């Protein structure tokens, strides 16, 4: 047994020297090495791990260099005010939800939103109305929200105080944000955008437009996912001046009072890099991305999603779809065996996240690996991906917290209130979530996913977590 398991484990991983096609965007530090100032920062990182010593300002009351850097950030993204976040987009999502809504407010939210949004909804005691996500039946990938469903939901819920949209999703797929903003503004709803994967949007004409420029009230971006920032570095942008005071408060409430200057410096550098080199860097990246996408798409059984499949998609990202009847998990393991580190895999798709710091050599390595991939060894039985209607909500998610819960066999759960989300991968969209009622149709669906061997979060030994009835002895279980 190791005396230092974490340190040894991480060091072991670094020695693998993988081609980094996962987050963070600086790709093992390469992003810093591209400029003189970045190189200096890279070499001095550990020394930059300081506290609020003289002359370096205070994130919770910025008056000096942090204020200056945040103003440059705001100017670059064309927001009314922008913030550095050192606890990731998770803290940004919490802050924007708390700043925009009060307890009991009704909000429209995409079914497939990130867990930090769902947690914010619970903590702020909001009443969510879910909007369905579509699934691409050819690729089994979760798509943007269903527009017809959205308009229907808006019509039925004109009293909603706002909407929370993910733009883009993990697959780089973008919803029609401009249209959504227009429709929601007609009904005086605030538009909050989780753009965790879209910090680079708008830098180049062939990328989707930035959510800030499209006019969302609040936008969160993970600078660490696609830009040069260290992990946890995120931006929050405010377009709606009336929210600034509250955002000031909640950002401060959700962030550490010992913010990392290494992370903050890396965020300042990320913005600087975009501003100084972004156009050219993304030009090169998109050139390589398109060139190798074409080549890889000639290889049988593999297809990289592109603008012919989706109206709007981030072309810097590869969603490598494997044909029905082949296993993306085995394909993922194959890429790993070739020292390629993908971001994730969902059963039909392997996602590679490229940033400007992945040069042509990395694309070439991926192309050659796929070209020599023994794909015929990756056959598996194909099972269709299906999604259900959103189940009826009987309690608000926050009402489920602090109630006794217990695991019951799926077969006996009909009519009970769900106390933990059930999410099959693929497609990664919750079949049921907190406060919704379990019905026969849902159980069939879960049994189907368990039977075909998909990963199903929220199911243990064919049991589901539900609220306890009076006569039962339950457990208190926090998610
Ligand atoms: C859509 C989305 N939003 C928010 C987050 C949370 O971001 P962070 O890791 O910066 O806290 C993620 C993380 O993967 C995400 O995919």
Cα 434 to ligand 1 centroid, rounded to whole Å: 20
Q: What is the pLDDT of residues 184-230, one digit of tens each?
A: 999 999 999 999 999 999 999 999 999 999 999 999 999 999 999 99
Nearest-atom index, ligand 1, CA of 87: 11
pLDDT at residue 477 tops 80: no
Q: In whole angstroms, how far apart are CA 231 and each of 22, 211, 234?
A: 12, 22, 9
pLDDT at residue 73 tops 50: yes
Cβ distance 434 to 397 under 8 Å? yes
Reading the block at residue 384, the tokens are 């269709």
Q: What is the pLDDT of residues 253-268, one digit of tens each?
A: 999 999 999 999 999 9
**Pairing state between β 190-194 and 81-85:** unpaired
Residue from 144, 222, 234, 317 to probe ligand 1 pocket by mutation (most atoms less than 8 Å from CB): 222
The proportion of the chain whose per-residue pLDDT surpasses 90, expressed as a percent, equals 87
Q: Which residue, among 225, 219, 235, 106, has the nearest Cα to 170 in the 3D structure?
A: 225
**Pairing state between β 19-21 and 127-131:** unpaired
Any ligand 1 atom below 6 A from CB of 196: yes
Question: Once rounded to an integer, what is the mean pLDDT over residues 457-476?
Answer: 82
pLDDT band at residue 309 using 50, 70 and 90 as cut-offs:
confident
Any ligand 1 atom below 6 A from CB of 194: yes
- How far is 400 from 168, CA to CA, in rounded Å? 30
Q: Which residues pair with 166 in a beta bridge?
A: 194
Question: Once rounded to an integer, what is the mean pLDDT over residues 287-300?
Answer: 97
Cα 89 to ligand 1 centroid, rounded to whole Å: 5
Nearest-atom index, ligand 1, CA of 222: 10
Cα 197 to ligand 1 centroid, rounded to whole Å: 8
pLDDT band at residue 318 using 50, 70 and 90 as cut-offs:
very high
Any ligand 1 atom below 6 A from CB of 349: no
pLDDT of 473 reads 61
pLDDT of 134 reads 87
pLDDT at residue 455 tops 70: yes
pLDDT at residue 68 tops 90: yes
Cα 5 to ligand 1 centroid, rounded to whole Å: 26
Q: Is residue 67 within a helix (H) or strand (E), and if so which, with residue range?
A: helix 65-77
- What angle is formed at CA 186 by the lines to CA 182 and CA 191, rounded to 5 degrees? 60
- How far is 310 from 319, CA to CA, in rounded Å? 12
Reading the block at residue 223, the tokens are 């600078």
- How far is 67 from 271, CA to CA, in rounded Å? 14
CA dihedral 194, 196, 198, 199 (to 10 degrees): 120
pLDDT at residue 478 tops 70: no
pLDDT of 475 reads 54
Reading the block at residue 28, the tokens are 């093992």
- How far is 68 from 73, CA to CA, in rounded Å? 9
């Amino acid at each position: 047994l190791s005396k230092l398991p974490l340190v040894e484990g991480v060091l072991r991983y670094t020695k693998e020297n993988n081609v980094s096609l996962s987050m963070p965007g600086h790709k093992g530090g390469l992003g810093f090495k591209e400029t003189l100032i970045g190189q200096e920062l890279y070499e001095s990182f550990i020394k930059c791990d300081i506290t609020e010593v003289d002359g370096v300002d205070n994130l919770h009351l910025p008056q000096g260099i942090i204020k200056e850097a945040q103003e440059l950030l705001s100017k670059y993204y064309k927001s009314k005010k922008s913030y550095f976040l050192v606890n990731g987009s998770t803290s940004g999502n919490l802050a924007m939800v708390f700043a925009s809504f009060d307890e009991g407010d009704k909000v429209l939210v995409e079914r497939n939103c990130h867990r930090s949004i769902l947690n914010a909804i619970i903590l702020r005691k909001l009443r969510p109305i879910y909007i369905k996500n579509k699934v691409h039946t050819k690729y089994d990938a979760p798509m943007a929200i269903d527009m017809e469903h959205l308009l229907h939901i808006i019509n039925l819920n004109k009293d909603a105080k706002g909407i929370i949209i993910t733009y883009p999703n993990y697959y780089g797929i973008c919803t029609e944000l401009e249209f959504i903003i227009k429709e929601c503004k007609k009904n005086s709803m605030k538009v909050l955008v989780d753009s965790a994967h879209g910090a680079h949007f708008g830098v180049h004409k062939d990328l989707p437009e930035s959510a800030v420029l499209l006019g969302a009230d609040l936008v969160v971006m993970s600078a660490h996912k696609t830009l040069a920032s260290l992990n946890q570095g995120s931006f929050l942008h405010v377009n709606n001046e009336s929210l600034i005071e509250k955002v000031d408060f909640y950002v401060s409430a959700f962030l550490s009072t010992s913010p990392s200057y290494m992370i903050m410096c890396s965020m300042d550098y990320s913005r600087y890099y975009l501003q100084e080199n972004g156009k050219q860097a993304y030009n090169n990246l998109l050139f390589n991305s398109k060139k190798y996408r074409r080549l890889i798409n000639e290889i049988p059984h593999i297809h990289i999603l592109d603008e012919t499949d989706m109206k709007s998609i981030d072309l810097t990202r590869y969603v490598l779809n494997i044909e029905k009847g082949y296993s993306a998990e085995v394909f993922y393991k194959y890429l790993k065996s070739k020292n390629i580190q993908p971001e994730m895999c969902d059963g039909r798709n392997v996602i590679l996240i490229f940033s400007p710091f992945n040069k042509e050599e990395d694309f070439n390595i991926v192309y050659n690996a796929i070209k020599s991939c023994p794909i015929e060894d990756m056959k598996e039985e194909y099972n269709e991906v299906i999604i259900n209607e959103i189940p009826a909500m009987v309690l608000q998610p926050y009402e489920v917290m602090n109630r006794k819960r217990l695991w019951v066999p799926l077969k006996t759960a009909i009519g009970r209130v769900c106390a933990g989300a059930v999410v099959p991968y693929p497609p990664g969209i919750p079949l049921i979530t907190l406060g919704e009622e379990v019905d026969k149709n849902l159980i069939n669906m879960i049994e189907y996913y368990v039977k075909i061997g998909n990963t199903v979060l929220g199911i243990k030994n064919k049991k589901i977590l539900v609220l306890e009835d009076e006569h039962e002895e339950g457990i208190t279980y926090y998610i």
